[in-house]
Amino acid sequence: MWAAQRRINRWFCTAIHDEGHWRYSKEWWGTIASGGRTVFRSASTKGNGVVSVVSHPSSKPSEEEWQETEKWLERRYREEVGGQGGNGGEGFRVLGYEWRTLRFNDETRQSTVKVMAACPQSEPSSVFLMQQPHCLAVPYVKSMVSLGLASVASCGYDLLQATRGNQPMRILCIGHGGGSLPLFLAKKIPGAIIDIVEIDPLVIHISLHEMGFPAVPVLASSGKCIFPENSIINKMLWSDIKERICLYECDAEKFVLDSSSLYDLIFVDAYDGDDIFPCKLWDRDSPFLNALSDRLHPEHGTVVVNLHSDSDAWSPDPFHTHASESSYIGKIGRAYKDLLAGNGSFRSCFGLGYFVDVPWLCNTTLVVCKGFRTDSMHLSQASVLKTLASKSPVIDILLNLPFSCSEYINRHLTLIY
């Protein structure tokens, strides 16, 4: 009874505090015609068409809660300036909150983030934006986070030590968008060290200047490292994470071929202006997957891929496309599983690949990992679900998640054999 009551209490807590819950989707899942305004618009030179940012007002948090944020800003400023011999007396005013959606060709939603606008009281014209790192809005991003963390933990990775900052967790994100996923992980996991690869410099510019992403080092395609202005505002907002994130303006294939790093967790979410997942990122004959295999930690390395299930190439039955190896999704899953996880097993440790459907959207999350551990000597859908489900409450507590991983784990899980 106590366990059941705890689950009920947690559900109500989540319902109140998850500002990115689907119940608020009317605020950000709309169009300009539904009340949004365009705050940025420009043509991409990297195949993403017209790139724009559309904003919608946010209903949360309420103005009563803004005062606590203003006090936090003042305290952080005092800490930074005080350490430099200043008087640290600056006050701040929160101007409001918005949802901002990054779009390609006015249709494809590439990222949705919540941003806060604020300014120093002494300089009301010096408005700055801060992306809210605790807030994940679009369900497929929550699915990727939930399944990625549950899977890497099921492979024996010590997530507890990473959340305490006692152990580094190397994460690679291929595809940046507005940066909500890497920012969320960097905030929640003090041990996370995150590399982000984005081919389009315009997308990087937008995330830094229009979507409130931290001013982190950017390694340009020319090879030059562009260090951000080390301003007091940037330090007071992001001192705990800005040194643990690096942005690379680079083609994903070139990056993994040139890199020598090992990653515990890799996220792939890379779509172009035509909303297409590039063939070279999943074709088994391309150099990308073979090189990506070398970048994965050999014992617990885990890859999570966002796939769109509303493509014309998909089977008409969204719940059974995974079973067909001749389907588009089947080919992608099989290529990732064969080249990254392998088929062998040793003492109940398995190379594993599986699909899970995303609630509310036509998306599917693909997960491939090494060394998946179960209590069973034989891999089955039931044993995988049981293992992943056992990690969910632990992850919820360790990361103090505003949502529950279990909501995104038990969604028509299908193994890739």
Whether the predicted pLDDT of 7 surpasses 50:
no
Q: Are residues 331 and 275 in the same domain?
A: yes
Domain membership flag for residue 406: yes
Distances (CA, A) of 184 to 189, 367, 373: 8, 19, 27
What is the share, in percent, of the chain residues with pLDDT greater than 90?
Answer: 71
Domain membership flag for residue 268: yes
Query: Among residues 131, 149, 165, which one ends one of the domains?
Result: 131
* Two structure tokens written together for 57: 């007002």
Domain membership flag for residue 284: yes
CA–CA distance, 18 with 239 (Å, rounded to integer)? 24
Q: Are residues 317 and 391 in the same domain?
A: yes
Banded model confidence at residue 382, pLDDT cuts 50, 70, 90 = very high
Whether the predicted pLDDT of 347 surpasses 70:
no
Query: Of residues 398 and 329, which shows the higher confidence score?
Result: 398
Q: Which of 40-44, 78-82, 294-298, 340-344 has the lowest mean pLDDT?
A: 340-344
Q: Are residues 262 and 150 in the same domain?
A: yes
Q: Which of 36-40, 316-320, 336-340 has the lowest mean pLDDT?
A: 316-320
Mean local confidence (pLDDT), 360-367: 94
417 class by beta-carbon count within 10 Å (0-12 exposed, 13-18 middle, 19+ buried):
exposed
Most confident of the ranges 6-15, 83-92, 190-199: 190-199
pTM: 0.91
Domain membership flag for residue 358: yes
Domain membership flag for residue 235: no
Query: Among residues 131, 150, 179, which one ends one of the domains?
Result: 131
What is the share, in percent, of the chain residues with pLDDT greater than 70?
Answer: 87
* Number of structural domains the chain divides into: 2
Q: Are residues 155 and 52 in the same domain?
A: no
CA–CA distance, 136 with 327 (Å, rounded to integer)? 30
Query: Of residues 271 and 73, which shows the higher confidence score?
Result: 73
Whether the predicted pLDDT of 47 surpasses 80:
yes
Mean local confidence (pLDDT), 106-134: 94
Banded model confidence at residue 308, pLDDT cuts 50, 70, 90 = confident
Domain membership flag for residue 261: yes
Domain membership flag for residue 179: yes
- Would you state the pLDDT for residue 316? 39
- Would you state the pLDDT for residue 282? 94
CA–CA distance, 83 with 273 (Å, rounded to integer)? 46
pLDDT, tens only, 400-411: 999 999 999 999
Domain membership flag for residue 340: yes
Q: Are residues 66 and 180 in the same domain?
A: no
Query: Among residues 131, 154, 170, which one ends one of the domains?
Result: 131
Whether the predicted pLDDT of 356 surpasses 50:
yes
Range of the domain at 76: 18-131
Q: Are residues 153 and 60 in the same domain?
A: no
Whether the predicted pLDDT of 255 surpasses 90:
yes
Q: Are residues 39 and 162 in the same domain?
A: no
Most confident of the ranges 31-35, 131-135, 225-229: 131-135
- Residue 68 CB partners (closer than 8 Å, separation 6+): none
- Would you state the pLDDT for residue 214? 96
Q: Are residues 123 and 150 in the same domain?
A: no
Q: Are residues 194 and 117 in the same domain?
A: no
- Would you state the pLDDT for residue 323? 44
Torsion from C-alpha of 189, 307, 25, 245, nearest 10 degrees: 30
Inter-residue long-range contacts of 23-32, CB under 8 Å, 24+ positions, other chains counted: 24/58, 24/59, 24/60, 24/137, 25/137, 25/360, 27/56, 27/57, 27/58, 27/59, 27/99, 28/56, 28/99, 28/101, 28/112, 28/137, 29/109, 29/112, 30/56
What is the domain-level CATH number for residue 334? 3.40.50
Neighbouring C-beta atoms of residue 140, cutoff 10 Å: 22
Q: Are residues 95 and 146 in the same domain?
A: no
Please name the residue that has the structure tokens 């640290």: 88
Mean local confidence (pLDDT), 80-98: 79
Please name the residue that has the structure tokens 């998946």: 372
Whether the predicted pLDDT of 190 surpasses 70:
yes
Q: Are residues 382 and 277 in the same domain?
A: yes
Cis link prior to 217 (omega < 30° from 0)?
A: no
Q: Are residues 301 and 407 in the same domain?
A: yes
- Residue 56 CB partners (closer than 8 Å, separation 6+): 27, 28, 30, 35, 36, 98, 99, 101
Banded model confidence at residue 193, pLDDT cuts 50, 70, 90 = very high
